[in-house]
Structure 1
């Protein structure tokens, strides 16, 4: 696992290119109350060796990440699109909505669905409803996830994820445009999710 550390020096904002990962070390986070996402989408995950990079949440513009609730190993932010954030000095006791807790709850709900097909459909619908947008005949997700990452999120193997994604592509419910970093989903796939958004 390769990542860089968040600098201790005060910086107005930090910009990360797609694919870069940064570790939020709890040892230095006591001076920071939370991070505010300015633009882009990032995956929040646990760097612990035991959990093998378990995804906790996805963040987008406007979300706050409370750094006072990190595990002893910290958390990592992986930029799925060009991503920027700043340190926010707001009093975290006054922040009502916790994006990480909400995402973790939704991902846990998905993991408890009966079949891998249902879990994949619910995951894709959740991602599009929270991070995507409707564009004509498709719903666009502004980033791609590897089949291995999808397997981790739905509690299956990479092979199972690849097989399920191939089925969706064959049924023309999922389109992966070449040369672009987006996923396109048919609205009926999103609308018929086994879990409400």
Structure 2
């Protein structure tokens, strides 16, 4: 995988196209940096070989990532949509809301549901409630995840994820159009989540 490296010093706006990844290594920075998401949606994941790209969080406009809260190997930030970030120097205070920790907690809650179908249902509900929008009769996510990534998020195989996604498509609970990044989901699916978010 190709990585783009975050500048060592605080900088202005950084644009990242969908599919590109920025590696943030906490040991590369002499001071704590705060990464602000100005626009777009990103996936934050662990670059460690042992965890195989485990997703820690999703970030959107207004969310922050502090470099003093990273593991020794740092984290990767993958642009799921057109992404614009800024970095600023910040004193490490350890106080306040941390969007990465909140996402990690919610993803752990999902992983503890008993069946893969329940976990997928809860994951889609979480993504729509945090990152999606309601348009008419459908809820919309502005990006797609691969079946392999969905499997990683719900603790199943790619094959299981593909089977479950096909079941939702056949039940007219999920729609995708070829060539479009958007996923449309039925509000009934989102409103009947096995977890509340």
Q: What is the correspondence of 1:40-119 to structure 2 with a 5 Å cutoff?
A: 40-93=40-93, 95-119=95-119
Hey, which bits of structure 1, 4+ residues long, moved more than 3 A?
A: 89-92
- 2:178 aligns to what? 178
Compared CA separation, residues 92 and 137, structure 1 to 2 (3 A): farther
**1:149 aligned partner:** 149
Contact 1:30 1:68 survives alignment (8 Å): no
CA distance in 2, matches of 1:80, 1:36: 16
Kept in 1, the 8 Å contact 2:10–2:88? The answer is: no
Q: Post-superposition shift, 1:184?
A: 0.5
Contact residue 107 and residue 153 of structure 2 kept, 8 A: yes
Tell me the residue number matched to 1:190. 190
5+ residue gaps, structure 2: none
SS of the residue corresponding to residue 58 of structure 1 reads strand
Aligned partners of 2:19, 2:32: CA distance in 1, in Å? 24
CA contact (8 A) 2:36 2:65 kept: yes
Aligned residue runs from structure 1 range 121-140, under 5 A: 121-140=121-140
Residue matched to 2:165: 165
SS at structure 1 position matched to 2:85: strand
Q: How many residues align?
A: 197
- TM-score, scaled relative to structure 2: 0.96
Displacement of 1:9 in angstroms is 4.3
Q: TM-score, normalised to structure 1's length?
A: 0.96
